[in-house]
Amino acid sequence: MTTLLREINEQPSVLTDLLQAEWDNIQEIAREIISRRIRQVLIVARGSSDNAGVYAKYLLGIRNRLPVALAAPSMVTVYASPPRLHDTLVLAISQSGMSPDIAAVVADAREQGMMTVALTNQRESRLTGVAERLILCHAGQERSVAATKTYTATLLAVAMLSVALDGEADVGPDAGYDALLRVPEAVAQALALDATVAPAAERYRYMADCAVIARGYNYATAFELALKLKELTYVGANPYSSADFQHGPIAVVGKDYPVVLVAPSGKVFDEMATLACELVDRQAELLVISDRQEILDLAETALPLPLPLPEWLSPIAAIIPGQLLAYRLALAKRIDPEAPRGLQKVTETR
């Protein structure tokens, strides 16, 4: 077993450890956010962590009604003109915690008196040296260049923070901590799709480009899945919101054009199903990740999510088939998934 596949398979245990190890700390951070009357969140991240930031934008915005923005680090590091912040939580997301531009944004925010939290997999790093508070992913060392277990751990940590912020108001099997506890098993069951993905990957061996489409909470999944295809298989995968896709990019779709749809149950499912029907009419090649049979039936390649999660948690399981697809497609294309060309594990940008 390769290192990357081993790390993909470690995700259920990583998520279980995270729930047990960080819940008390995250509750304490949530209490401080409330006591400091935080009114908005600024997220700073790069790469897969930036995609996790997109998830946080939707989750904290929809469930917690907090305005969320993604920072442009160059405002601080290149233009030396940082935004003026008021009543703001600056949440820095970084697997390694070593990128100077992310740390610079946090340092500036702290100088302005803002609350700063680092969400990272490394206890000792440039980022943790400047942030006030720390949330650890508890993913163990991630050796592969492609982030897998640190990505899903980051999503779960953000979900834990959202639940903690809701406090007593967050009740019901699909709403609060009980829903979080279902995530590791949903991920474990999704990993069983490898038996389906491995032979299906051969079908896409000569794919040069594709569209990856989702909406809402899973908009982040579209970006992360596209990133995995790019870095592991060198496919020109382009992520889109289903709404944005219909405002022009859909013109690229013709016979056999590959489209990956991420469409779990939820408020955007009907729109995704309607788009799927239009893509079938255009004779696109559909690969669908979903827990709903009616849209899976439209696909050339169907990847069913075995254990449905509430929509706000579905991105944690929905990315698993994407990770497996990128890994198996790399092998089918005779690309070493442990050594993507021109990449290294830690990238430090300024």
DSSP 89-143: EEEEEESSS--HHHHHHHHHHHHTT-EEEEEES-SSSTTTTT-SEEEE-------
**Residue 345: pLDDT over 80:** no
Contact (CB, 8 A) for 55 and 315: yes
Ordered strands of the 40-45 beta sheet:
68-70, 40-45, 88-94, 115-120, 133-136
Burial class (CB in 10 A: 0-12, 13-18, 19+), 173: exposed
What was the pLDDT predicted at 80? 87
- Of 246, 309, 255, whose CA–CA distance to 282 is shortest? 255
What was the pLDDT predicted at 75? 87
| Domains and their CATH numbers in the chain | 3-181 (3.40.50.10490), 187-332 (3.40.50.10490)
- Looking at the chain, the whole-number percentage of residues with pLDDT higher than 70 is 95
What was the pLDDT predicted at 210? 97
Token duo for residue 68: 């969320």
- Dihedral sign for Cα 254, 255, 260, 263, please: positive
When pLDDT is averaged across residues 215-229 and rounded to a whole number, the result is 98
Neighbours of 35 (CB within 10 A): 9
Ordered strands of the 258-262 beta sheet:
236-241, 209-214, 258-262, 285-290, 301-304
What was the pLDDT predicted at 180? 96
What was the pLDDT predicted at 170? 54
Phi, psi of 274 (to 5 degrees): -65, -45
What was the pLDDT predicted at 347? 59
pLDDT in tens, 139-181: 999 899 899 999 999 999 999 999 999 875 555 667 789 999 9
- Of 155, 146, 171, whose CA–CA distance to 2 is shortest? 146
What was the pLDDT predicted at 175? 72
> Is residue 346 very low, low, confident or very high in pLDDT (cuts 50, 70, 90)?
low
| Long-range Cβ contact pairs of 335-344 (< 8 A, separation 24 or more) | 335/232, 335/233, 335/234, 337/2, 337/4, 337/144, 337/146, 337/232, 338/2, 338/3, 338/4, 338/144, 338/145, 339/145, 340/145, 340/146, 340/231, 340/232, 341/234, 343/145, 343/231, 344/145
3-state helix, strand, coil in the chain (%, to 5): 50, 15, 35
pLDDT in tens, 96-147: 878 888 898 999 999 999 999 999 998 888 888 999 999 999 999 989 989 9
- Residues in a beta bridge with 90: 42, 116
Neighbours of 175 (CB within 10 A): 16
Distance CA 295, CA 94 (A): 35
Average model confidence (pLDDT) across the chain: 93
Neighbours of 58 (CB within 10 A): 20
Contact (CB, 8 A) for 61 and 67: yes
> Which of the pair, 95 or 235, is modelled with greater confidence?
235
When pLDDT is averaged across residues 274-295 and rounded to a whole number, the result is 97
Neighbours of 182 (CB within 10 A): 17
Contact (CB, 8 A) for 161 and 30: yes
